[in-house]
Structures are given as C-alpha cells and as structure tokens.
Structure 1
Amino acid sequence: LDEPLGALDLKLRRQMQDELKAIQKRVGTAFVHVTHDQEEAMALADHCVVMNDGRIEDEGPPERVYARPKTRFSATFMGESTILAGKASDSRNGRVTVTTKLGPISLPGTSPAGAALALAIRPEHLVLGDAKGDVSLGTAKVSDVVFQGSFKRVLAASTQDPALQFIAKSPTSATIQAGDTIPVSCNACDIILLAD
C-alpha cells in the first residue's frame, strides 16, 4: 500500500485507518504500508521501519521506535523532539553525566567520556511552569502558544541558549502566553540518550 490515505482529509483518513486494520485482521495477511505520515504509521503498524536515504535507521514496535528511537534521525522523524547537544563527562553505575549548555544532566545510560551525545525530549515530557521534573532545564521565553484541541503546543526559546527551542505540550487549562518567561524541566527517565 503506497500512501493509500494521502489524499484524504483527517477525519476520513482516521476512519480509513480503522477500516484498513479491520480488513488486514479479517484477511489475515501482512500489509506493507508506505507513508510519510508518522501518526498513521504508528496507528497502523505492528512493526515500524524508519528509512533514510534508502537505509533502515530504526525498526521495531511503534511504541519502542517512538519512545526510545535508536538514532537522532528517527527521534526527529517519528514525532517532534527538543534536541540538546552535549558530551559525556562521566559514566558509572548505569548512569551517564552529560555536559550541556544548560549545565550537567545525569540520566540512565552509559557512554565513553568525551563522546558527543544528543538528548531528545518529547513534547509531552517537558514540564513548563512551577511543576518540577527532576532535571531543571533553566528558563525559557514563550514565543508561541497554539491551541490544538486536546492540548496547547508551546514553543519557547531557552534564556541560557536562545538557539535551543523547546517544543512542549501543555494541558488546555494552562495559562501560558506568548512573552512569558517560565521554568522548564523534565524527568531524567524521559530523556532519550542518542549518539550525536
């Protein structure tokens, strides 16, 4: 199936996703479904394959490919992420300390000292405002807040490193507005550690 739902509007596309899954289960045969729509891929796939320039970058169950991508390309292709560059400064007892422009961050994992790393944080894992995750990412100035129905998509630039753009999902009840300067944090267990 090569982009079978590409020309449909969102509501019809979701209905057809359900129909395709029902047909596949009823017929009992494998489908190879090619799409550039990441949400569609995750909704339909039992096994997801992410390709880049004709190479397989990542593969596995869609939940794993999204939650723990193997490469930076896969992390940014399969949904949005805030990417923070750093270097491993210490690794022991199953934890690695990564030196970043926002300060040192300790998280589960291992890496040789001096290795270039990228930390990926999904929008739903960033904590904005007074609620605190166990890793402080400093403060950020909000540039845009977009209502998306079930959440607000917030874009904010780090005050310590203005080139770093945070992409976050906040509850619709959040009172965040463009121009606000807010604390940003997350939990170490939600940070995806990638070779840069």
Structure 2
Amino acid sequence: GVDGATRAAKARDALALVGLAAAFDKKPHQLSGGQRQRVALARALVIEPAVLLLDEPLGALDLKLRRQMQDELKAIQKRVGTAFVHVTHDQEEAMALADHCVVMNDGRIEDEGPPERVYARPKTRFSATFMGESTILAGTVIEARNGIVMASTAVGPVSLPGASTAGATVALAIRPEHLVLGEAKGDVPLGTATVGDVVFQGSFKRVLAASTLDPALQFIAKASASATVQAGDTIAISCNAQDIILLAD
C-alpha cells in the first residue's frame, strides 16, 4: 500500500538492518544460505510487526553459520525492539538467545523463566533432562527438617538443601559440570564408577561412567580437556550438596 520509491527505500533500510545493504540488486541464487536467512528476516521486519515469530529459523544452517546468525539475531532484536518469539529444539540456541525461556512438553508448559534459572534450577524432571544433560538419581526421602532433605538412593544416603516430606519419591538431578571425578572430592560422595566412554569436545571431555553400586545408573560428567581419564578406569565420583537439584519424581 505504498508507492514504489517508498517501497524501495524501506527495502534498502531493511536490508541494511540485517547487514545486506550491498545485496539489493542480487538474485536469490547469488546469495549464501546465511544471506538468504537474513533476507527472510528483513522481509518479516520491513512491515514493522509488533511481534515476530521465528519457527526454527536456523535449523538448516551449519554450526558456524548458526552461531553467527544467533549473534546477529540478538543484535537485530535489540536494535528494532520488536518482541521475538523464537521456536527451537536446540537447547543451546534457546539459552543463548532468550531473555525469557519457556520449556514445552506435549503442549504443556513444563518450566519458564530466565534461561539461567531454567538451567540451574529446573522445576521438573523433563526440564532438567531437556535443557542440558543431567545425571538423575532416584530417591526416597528419609528425613526432611530445617531446610535439609536426606534421601535414600542407589549410591547411599544423600543430604542436600531443600524442602520435601518423609516418604516422598524424589529425583536428584546433577549437571555434568558439577560431578567431581577422582580424588578432589565434593562433600557428597557418590561411590565409584567404571568409565565407559570419553569423548573429546574441544574445551572439555564428556565422560560416561556406570556406577559400580548400580550399573543401571549412568553418570554424565564434564572433565577438563587435559584430564587423563580413559575408558575402563574406575574412578571416585562426588559432588557438592548445593549443586544437586531436588525434583518431585
């Protein structure tokens, strides 16, 4: 509903906004995948919507380009001030982009809040395992008083801060970065485990280890990139009580 000159000016402004000012006269086949994504964003922004829905906008991109586009999306959102509702199955992408993170499961909201809180203190077991990895210990509360819960688990009794009731069935979630491998023990011993796999992932090693007390219990831990742990090792595992997440099972 605007004249040609206004259309062209608005199109140029939208392309400049997404860093493609020089691409105004290019054909689609002359653009890279990342540039096409930015054109799609410019087409949505040029009509100045009050809210913009992005449904898996980065799914078709390779990892390096996806990271670059994440940074650009965040910068663009701050410049235009439009509310972005960003739908993704990539948990790292959700946490990197969101001011407010909503975890949905089967059409229900499982958890919502700032991404730091959703990751560090998830409200449900689904949220704890979906937003990043967790080792889950099944437990039964033996005693709960003065803000301390004592739970019976397959690796022995575990005491941690929290609120519950005696006899309640609970799940104790521990993030990989909070599991301590070897002799530098945390204040909650979790027994020993046999290392099944060690995967080098650049800045750290992802360690999978089966508990020697309950082989069905699989610990998922992050070790430093220089750690000497390898498959077949039997290692002590522990964590600190304040790092354990108490969940109703």
TM range (shorter): over 0.9
CA distance in 1, matches of 2:138, 2:223: 24
- Unaligned stretches of 5+ residues in structure 1: none
Which of 147, 151, 154 matches 2:200? 147
Q: Distance in 2 between matches of 1:95 and 1:140?
A: 27
Question: How high is the TM-score relative to the length of structure 2?
Answer: 0.78
Give the equivalent residue in structure 1 for 2:25: none
Q: In structure 2, what is the Cα distance between the partners aligned to 1:55 and 1:146?
A: 34
Q: What is the TM-score of this pair, normalised by structure 1?
A: 0.99
Is 1:53 aligned to 2:106, yes or no? Answer: yes
1:72 aligned partner, one-letter code: R
Query: Partner amino acid for 1:107?
Result: L
Aligned to 1:70: 123
Residue 62 of structure 1 and its aligned partner are, at CA, apart by 0.2
Which of 156, 160, 172 pairs up with 1:107?
160
What's the counterpart of residue 243 of structure 2? 190
Q: Percent identity?
A: 86
**Residue 138 of structure 1 pairs with residue 191 of structure 2:** yes
Offset of residue 138 of structure 1: 0.1
Letter of the aligned partner of 1:125 in structure 2? H
Once the two structures are superposed, residues 116-160 of structure 1 have per-residue CA deviations (whole angstroms, 9 ceiling, x without a partner) of: 000000000000011100000000000000100000000000000
Match of residue 171, structure 1, among 203, 216, 224: 224
Query: Is residue 2:84 matched to residue 1:31?
Result: yes
In 2, Cα distance between equivalents of 1:72 and 1:166: 16
Cα RMSD over matched residues?
0.4
Q: Which ranges of 4 or more aligned residues in structure 1 deviate by more than 4 Å?
A: none
**Which structure has greater helix proportion?**
2
Bigger-Rg structure (1/2) = 2
Residues 74-126 of structure 1, C-alpha deviations (whole Å, 9 max, x = no match) = 00000000000001110111100011111110100011100000000000000
Q: What secondary structure is seen at the aligned counterpart in 2 of 1:124? A: helix
Separation in 1 of the partners of 2:245 and 2:163? Answer: 12
Unaligned stretches of 5+ residues in structure 2: 1-53
* SS at 1:111 equivalent: coil
Indicate yes or no: 2:135 matched with 1:82: yes
SS at match of 1:25: helix
Q: Post-superposition shift, 1:29?
A: 1.2
Q: How many residues align structurally? A: 196
Q: CA–CA distance in 2 between the matches of 1:30 and 1:99?
A: 46
